[in-house]
Amino acid sequence: MKEKKKFYLTTAIAYTSGKPHIGNTYEAVLADSIVRFKRQQGYDVRFQTGTDEHGQKIEIKSAEAGVDPKKFVDDISGEIKSIWDLMNTSYDKFIRTTDKYHEKQVQKIFKKLYKQGDIYKGFYEGMYCTPCESFFTSSQLVDGKCPDCGRECQPAKEEAYFLKLSKYTDKLIKHIKTHPEFIQPESRKNEMMNNFLLPGLQDLCVSRTSFKWGIPVDFDEGHVVYVWIDALSNYITGLGYDTDGNNALENGEDLFEKYWPADLHLIGKDILRFHTIYWPIMLMALDLPLPKQIFGHPWLLQNDGKMSKSKGNVIYADDLVKIFGVDAVRYFVLHEMPFENDGVISWDLIAERVNSDLANTLGNLVNRTISMTNKYLDGVAENKGVIEPVDEELKTLVTAAPEKVITKMDALRVSDAISEVLAIFKRCNKYIDETEPWVLGKDESKKDRLSTVLYNLIESIVSGASLLEAFMPETTEKILTQLNAQKKSFDDIKTFGTYMSGTKVTDKPEILFMRQDIKDVIAKAEEITAVQSVENSTEDTVKEYEEVMDIEPKAEITFEDFEKMQFQIGEIIACEEVKKSRKLLCSKVKIGSEVKQIVSGIKQYYTAEEMVGKKVMVLVNLKPAKLAGVLSEGMLLCAEDNKGGLALMTPEKSMPSGAVVC
RNA sequence: GGCGGGAUAGCUCAGUUGGCUAGAGCACACGGUUCAUACCCGUGGUGUCAAGGGUUCAAAUCCCUUUCCCGCUACCA
């Protein structure tokens, strides 16, 4: 028996902090279409997806909801899984990072790396630069000061474990250079190289003590494994990897041995850095081969501007499926997503796409073909071999299709691959016009030609439907059932005429895709939107009142420390944007009789015009510094929320410029 | 600020190593057809290929300058 080539594909694991919207769902569908295609090509496929369930955010959210975090993630993980199922994704393995075998292996991996010195325990004392919010190893400090800003680093309370990245940097750079296909799309490769690898990597903090909801570091109480080692390891623990070499077996088979390294990690472009730098280095440290390819796919965005839960305009897969059906949604997300740029999704765009491509071109073709076969030939199209030159073009297109589709799929150009398949159906419609079966049907002497024409059509449709399977499996099934046909292999398609001559098609063709009335769709969407915003507004109002923030405590200071700082009220008398900077505003601030120039990173929250006239709190004796080349002689004080939103501090009653703040 | 990528028909984009009247899909308009889900087929563009300059027999394609967008990253007192 011929040994099948293996193909191991993973998606990123979805974070269980909430219901996944269509963008997350897209990744699962994209992955599914790729693996289904590989299976058709005869690969032995392993497709793994799952959920990432630890972390502070979940700890907080579950506490807010008043439930145990495990219960919380059980619910959401279940919901995610059910959406993946709804979308017909054919995963072989759905891993959860709270699975026991995963947790155990993560602990072992952590310990192994620690023992061999790739993970070391670091301390924040003397290494934490508060303003930079960065941790440094002593070797990174310049004269004991922050290598970034040159200021004193603060002693900090938390100790943590670090992964030595620098040790493997050169090896990784070499790997990326010698494997041009490693990072896809290639433009992302430069970003990783120029921004991280070439300047040199800082060691990565891989543990936390600030929250509990994580995998404990088993040799050091109080520490939990931070997201990287926990989440990324899923790609190997899901195959039964064991650091000791005693890999878990599934049905007596060592899946890790069989499937690793992964052929493709499919991820969102936002997490490329973790998958192309941290993960390969972890694997090098574990002395394991690197994945062959990492594809950071673009995103599906909604074009009606800000997508927000409170506005209720978030598009969810299950809502879409209710209106359009699974395959239409699969088709849309796969077709609308180009290779490198973000795609756009909206209710009316889907409706349009479904109408023109699926209802008109494909659905109507199948319908009219079956109707004619019934009407003129009692449902049986035989290949009578009455060939005319016009047939040739159709045959050529159909038989050439598999190679074209394979080429596109190999390059991960899924959208283009679908277009190739659709071209078959478009050609079929044209063929009907060229051959005019309704004319042939009126002439008894043309009956054999008519039969041949319809046979050719059915043959082409069966080929097209077979090629469609990776993208729209249910539709393929429906078409084949109606035509009473077997799915064709790619090789069969290359030979025109493998559909069994004389097969009877169904009496009553079923509508494959309903035409959508755009107004109708929009009305339904608005209904869904209304429900969403009611659900969320109640939720949000509660939150607004209850929301509090906890931040990491800094070391205690003395009163003398405090007295070193001088705060005064200043009046902003002029303000302009700092050109060539995205966030900076440059203000002239009158403090008493003196005017200081102060640069602040608040352009996103205040316009230059609205700054003028405000009385604000200023730290005046801060050492001047240059920001984006502009001198700044102090600091405007702001409150900052946990999303980075800023609000200027202003005196509650009118105060003169220069008034001391104490 | 650093690095990278863009700017082509109303919309979404193709345009390979420079080569003949610059393309596709959608939308729109008109014509044809009737087997079919008011469907399908055909026809229809004066687009300064962002602007300016250069190289060349020849530039959307190569080089320089400018403007504007986007991504990553840094800064954000």
CA atoms within 13 A on the CB side of A257: 9
Whether pLDDT at A138 is above 90: no
- Segment A456-479 shows an average pLDDT of 97
Question: What is the tens place of the pLDDT at every residue in A329-373?
Answer: 999 999 887 677 777 888 888 898 999 999 999 999 999 999 999
Q: Which residues in chain A, range 22-81, keep a C-beta under 7 Å from any nucleic strand B atom? A: none
Same domain, A377 and A278: no
- CA-to-C1' span, A628 to B36 (A): 66
Residue A153 lies in a domain: no
- Span of A126-140, A499-513, A529-543, A634-648 with lowest mean pLDDT: A126-140
A439 nearest nucleotide via C1' and CA: B35
Same domain, A242 and A106: yes
Residue A327 lies in a domain: no
pLDDT of residue A475: 97
Residue A509 lies in a domain: yes
- Segment A496-520 shows an average pLDDT of 92
Q: Is the CB of A222 under 7 A from strand B?
A: no
pLDDT of residue A463: 97
Same domain, A364 and A249: no
A189 nearest nucleotide via C1' and CA: B4
- CA-to-C1' span, A125 to B46 (A): 72
Q: Is the CB of A355 under 7 A from strand B?
A: yes
- CA-to-C1' span, A385 to B15 (A): 40
Q: Is the CB of A205 under 7 A from strand B?
A: no
Residue A423 lies in a domain: yes
Q: Which of A282, A297, A312 is the last residue of a domain?
A: A297
Whether pLDDT at A161 is above 70: yes
Same domain, A483 and A576: no
A516 nearest nucleotide via C1' and CA: B37
pLDDT of residue A1: 46
Helix, strand, or coil (residue A395): helix
Whether pLDDT at A547 is above 70: no
A638 nearest nucleotide via C1' and CA: B77
State the burial class of residue A250 (Cβ atoms within 10 Å of its Cβ: 0-12, 13-18, 19+): middle
pLDDT of residue A2: 55
- Segment A3-12 shows an average pLDDT of 93
Q: Is the CB of A292 under 7 A from strand B?
A: no
Question: What is the tens place of the pLDDT at every residue in A316-328?
Answer: 899 999 999 999 9
- CA-to-C1' span, A425 to B9 (A): 26
Same domain, A261 and A385: no
Whether pLDDT at A592 is above 50: yes
- CA-to-C1' span, A351 to B30 (A): 26
A195 nearest nucleotide via C1' and CA: B73
**Strands A615-619 and A567-577, sheet pairing:** antiparallel
Residue A312 lies in a domain: no
Q: Is the CB of A472 under 7 A from strand B?
A: no
ipTM for the whole complex: 0.90
Q: How far is A525 from A323, CA to CA, in rounded Å? A: 9
Same domain, A258 and A277: yes
The CATH number of whichever domain residue A549 belongs to comes to 1.10.730.10
- Segment A495-516 shows an average pLDDT of 93
- Span of A17-31, A400-414, A514-528, A536-550 with lowest mean pLDDT: A536-550
Whether pLDDT at A533 is above 80: no
Residue A317 lies in a domain: no
Question: What is the tens place of the pLDDT at every residue in A46-62?
Answer: 999 999 999 888 998 89
- CA-to-C1' span, A183 to B4 (A): 15
A627 nearest nucleotide via C1' and CA: B75
The CATH number of whichever domain residue A223 belongs to comes to 3.40.50.620
Which bases along strand B come within 7 Å of a protein CB atom?
1-5, 12-14, 26-27, 32-42, 71-77
Q: Is the CB of A628 under 7 A from strand B?
A: yes
User: Tokens 């691959």 map to which residue?
Assistant: A417
Residue A38 lies in a domain: yes
A635 nearest nucleotide via C1' and CA: B77
- % of chain A exceeding 90 in pLDDT: 54
User: What is the residue-averaged pLDDT of chain A?
Assistant: 86
Q: How far is A133 from A66, CA to CA, in rounded Å? A: 31
Look up the protein residue whose alpha carbon has the minimum distance to the C1' of B27. A352
Residue A644 lies in a domain: yes
- CA-to-C1' span, A360 to B38 (A): 11
Same domain, A367 and A494: yes
Same domain, A210 and A70: yes
Q: Is the CB of A577 under 7 A from strand B?
A: no
- CA-to-C1' span, A31 to B36 (A): 35
- CA-to-C1' span, A389 to B47 (A): 37
Q: Is the CB of A604 under 7 A from strand B?
A: no
Question: What is the tens place of the pLDDT at every residue in A183-241?
Answer: 988 888 888 988 888 888 888 889 988 789 999 999 999 999 988 899 999 999 999 99
CA atoms within 13 A on the CB side of A559: 1
Same domain, A270 and A169: yes
Whether pLDDT at A295 is above 80: yes
Taking alpha carbons only, the member of A642, A555, A554, A538 closest to residue A56 is A642
Residue span of the structural domain in which A526 resides: 347-556
**Phi and psi dihedrals of A640, rounded to 5?**
-130, 130
pLDDT of residue A45: 98
pLDDT of residue A596: 86
Q: What is the count of structural domains for chain A?
A: 3
Look up the protein residue whose alpha carbon has the minimum distance to the C1' of B14. A416
Q: Which of A523, A556, A589 is the last residue of a domain?
A: A556
Q: Is the CB of A582 under 7 A from strand B?
A: yes
User: Tokens 């494959």 map to which residue?
Assistant: A512
Both structure tokens of A213: 């909801």
- CA-to-C1' span, A217 to B60 (A): 59
Beta bridge partners of A576: A586
Q: How far is A577 from A583, CA to CA, in rounded Å? A: 9
- CA-to-C1' span, A157 to B59 (A): 63
Same domain, A273 and A406: no
Question: Is pLDDT larger for residue A642 or for residue A407?
Answer: A407
Q: Is the CB of A635 under 7 A from strand B?
A: yes
Q: Which residues in chain A, range 130-149, keep a C-beta under 7 Å from any nucleic strand B atom? A: 131-132, 148-149
SS (H, E, C) A200-262: CCCCEECEECCCCCCEECCCCCCCEECHHHHHHCHHHHCCCCCCCCCCCCECCECHHHHHCCC
- CA-to-C1' span, A269 to B73 (A): 15
Q: Which residues in chain A, range 272-291, keep a C-beta under 7 Å from any nucleic strand B atom? A: 273
Q: Which of A539, A556, A573 is the last residue of a domain?
A: A556
Whether pLDDT at A496 is above 90: yes
Same domain, A478 and A527: yes
pLDDT of residue A580: 61
The CATH number of whichever domain residue A638 belongs to comes to 2.40.50.140
- CA-to-C1' span, A9 to B23 (A): 36
DSSP code of residue A445 = G
State the burial class of residue A477 (Cβ atoms within 10 Å of its Cβ: 0-12, 13-18, 19+): middle
Question: Is pLDDT larger for residue A425 or for residue A141?
Answer: A425
- CA-to-C1' span, A556 to B24 (A): 67
Q: Is the CB of A598 under 7 A from strand B?
A: yes
Q: Is the CB of A508 under 7 A from strand B?
A: no
A431 nearest nucleotide via C1' and CA: B41
Same domain, A283 and A360: no
Question: What is the tens place of the pLDDT at every residue in A84-107?
Answer: 999 999 999 999 999 999 999 999
Q: Is the CB of A371 under 7 A from strand B?
A: yes
